[in-house]
Amino acid sequence: MSEIPLPAEGVGEPRWLRWTLTAVAVAFLLVFLVLPLANIFHAALSEGWRVFLASLRDEEAAQAIRLSLLSTGAAVLLSGVFGLAAAWFLGRHRIPGHGLWVAVLDLPFAISPVVAGLMFVLLFGLDGWFGPWLDRHNTQIIFAKPGIVLATAFVTFPFVARELLPLVEALGPEAEEAARLLGASPWQTFWRVTLPALKWGLLYGVILCASRAMGEFGAVSVVSGHIRGETMTLPLHIEAVYNEYQFGAAFACASLLSLVALVSLALKSFVAWRARRDREAA
């Protein structure tokens, strides 16, 4: 530790206080974050590799993984497109009630996911507003995959929009105007000028959105109906097998979900670093 220059005694906090605070912070991180996470992986492998792999290859687990990937992909696509459009629109046009619209973007964050799920049940459930009409057209949304996709997309909608809005405002309209006057069509302007300027922010938002979508439990739990082998996502599957005392299987799936979280965390840090580097160069 001697190479690290420390401020002289008396300038900052006393040394004992600094060490105590550091120790408390490290202990907290260890006990509440690192140990439980490590324990997940430990518990997942406690019954051996064979059980671990078998629990992931299990028919129902595989279906849950597929559905989670599908709903995550759809949520990323929807909130990516929606977020880009919303951020561009709100960043470029001063519409009446601008602040209100920005606040509306945050609505999915403010509402409890369970309530979000119930909203969809009220809209698309058999007794809901559109339920009878949907039923006549042989379409099922609640207790089926479309409902899961909708619920996942809803709770992840704000990520991309919130990430991009300040970037759109910072970019300003001039580069786009310059492109238009140089003969570019609106479409060319979007692809060649607007999107490249927003790419890291978009990627960052997409990663946040994806990791949230993978782990989404509350809203999906309400609309899923928990039909084994059909409408179970990975988090729902984990809960179900855990409740059946299949701890090995539950932790194996949980470790997979944790791994996804760790990877997205690493990706997120990388993207944030690249974005900062680009911003500093600009």
**Site residues for another protein per CB under 8 A:** 174-175, 177-185, 188, 192-193, 196-197, 278, 281-282
Min dist. Cβ of residue 156 to another protein (A): 27
Left if phi > 0, otherwise alpha if psi is -120 to 50, otherwise beta: which for 27? alpha
Q: Which two tokens stand for residue 195?
A: 């999107």
- For another protein, the closer of residues 33 and 182 by Cβ is 182
* Residues in CB range of 51: below 8 A, 6 or more apart: 248, 249, 252
Nearer to another protein, 1 or 282 (CB): 282
Rounded to a whole number of angstroms, the minimum distance from the CB of residue 219 to another protein is: 37
- Least Cβ distance, residue 164 to another protein (angstroms): 16
Which tokens go with 135?
């039923």
215 Rama sector, left if φ>0, alpha if ψ -120 to 50, beta otherwise? alpha
Cβ of residue 120: shortest distance to another protein, in angstroms? Answer: 40
**Residue 185 Cβ, how far from another protein at the closest point, in Å?**
6
To the nearest 10°, report the CA torsion of 129, 135, 138, 140: 60
Q: CA-CA distance, 73 to 54, in Å (whole number)?
A: 25
Structure-block tokens of residue 136: 């006549």
> Is the CB of 67 or the CB of 179 nearer to another protein?
179
**22 or 188: whose CB is closer to another protein?**
188
Contacts of 161 (CB under 8 A, 6+ apart): 79, 82, 83, 84, 86, 87, 90, 105, 205
Task: Give backbone dihedrals phi and psi of 93, rounded to 5 degrees, phi first.
Answer: -115, 135
Nearer to another protein, 176 or 216 (CB): 176
Name the residue nearer to another protein (CB basis): 57 or 276: 276
Q: Which two tokens stand for residue 91?
A: 């960043």
